[in-house]
Amino acid sequence: MARYTEAVCRLCRREGMKLYLKGDRCYTDKCAVNKRNFAPGQHGTSRKKLSNYGMQLREKQKAKRFYGVLEAQFRKYFEIAEKQAGITGENLLRILETRLDNVIYRLGFASSRAQARQLVVHGHFTINGRKVDVPSYIVKAGDVIAVGETSTNSPQFKELKETFKGTVPQWVSVDIEKLEGKIVSLPSREDVDIPIAENLIIELYSR
């Protein structure tokens, strides 16, 4: 299973904004964007005006990095979104939002998508009573995601019950005592709070 294994803070610096890839650390003064708000590398401090293609490329890269998806899979999601009824850009964001690792993050069961991905791979969650360890699994409306019975007594999830903040998107619901969440409905464009101009991504792939 391919994944990005290099330093993630440089990704935030390259995009010039926080991508919240390291969970709680991103909210502290240790955040790399706060310390060095310029692109990494020898020419990071030089500013260049982006072409239309450059703007489209940066928007795609930003979306990939937010959700922790590599190019081949991102392209596959675009092709699926293009075939679905409705607006392609909104379809693409809906697919990304309903990935299991993102849903675990949205439910508040993990502090970052990277941590959510790791928890899923380690088999800590079930969907409708069945264990699923594939981060890219696409959930559906009505699905119930829960911490597996053997994992509920782990220190991590016991602590989660005490520290849970209770703020989740309106398209999901959470019962923190049961360590369980439900997909109330599929997310709409208004439910996606990530600053992505999906129209630029569609323009890039339509070239």
Which CATH number is 169's domain given? 3.10.290.10
pTM equals: 0.79
Is 63 found in the same domain as 18? yes
Give SS3 for 59.
helix
Question: How would you list the strands of the sheet with 172-175, edge to edge?
Answer: 130-131, 125-127, 144-147, 180-183, 172-175
Burial track 25-54 (b if 16+ CB lie within 10 A, e otherwise): ebeeeebbbeeeeebeeeeeeeeeeeeeee
Average confidence (pLDDT) over 37-59: 72
Would you say how long the chain is, in residues?
207
As for how many domains the chain has, the answer is 2
Is 165 found in the same domain as 201? no
Tell me the pLDDT band of 148, cut-offs 50, 70 and 90. Answer: very high
pLDDT confidence of residue 166? 80
Secondary structure in 3-state letters for 102-151: HHHHHCCCCCCHHHHHHHHHCCCEEECCEECCCCCCECCCCCEEEECCCC
pLDDT confidence of residue 1? 47
Least confident piece of the model among 2-6, 56-60, 71-75: 2-6
Is 89 found in the same domain as 14? yes
pLDDT of residue 18 exceeding 60, the answer is: no
Is 136 found in the same domain as 117? yes
- Mutual orientation of helices 88-97 and 198-205 as an angle, nearest 10°? 110
pLDDT confidence of residue 19? 61
In a domain, 109, yes or no: yes
Is 35 found in the same domain as 114? no
Q: Which residues contact 91 (CB under 8 A, 6 or more apart)?
A: 80, 81, 82, 84
pLDDT confidence of residue 57? 92
In a domain, 1, yes or no: no
Is 64 found in the same domain as 115? no
Structural domain harbouring 117: 100-183
Q: What is the DSSP letter of 191?
A: G
In a domain, 3, yes or no: no
- Mutual orientation of helices 52-67 and 198-205 as an angle, nearest 10°? 110
Which CATH number is 88's domain given? 1.10.1050.10
pLDDT confidence of residue 95? 98
In a domain, 188, yes or no: no
Is 107 found in the same domain as 89? no
Q: Which residues contact 125 (CB under 8 A, 6 or more apart)?
A: 100, 104, 109, 119, 131, 132, 133, 145, 146, 147, 148, 151
pLDDT of residue 184 exceeding 90, the answer is: yes
Is 67 found in the same domain as 110? no
Is 68 found in the same domain as 46? yes
In a domain, 2, yes or no: no
In a domain, 142, yes or no: yes
- Amino acid at position 19, single letter: L
pLDDT confidence of residue 190? 95
Tell me the pLDDT band of 165, cut-offs 50, 70 and 90. Answer: confident
Q: Which of residues 7 and 63 earns the better pLDDT score?
A: 63
Instruction: Tell whether the torsion through CA atoms of 124, 125, 130 and 134 is positive or negative.
Output: negative
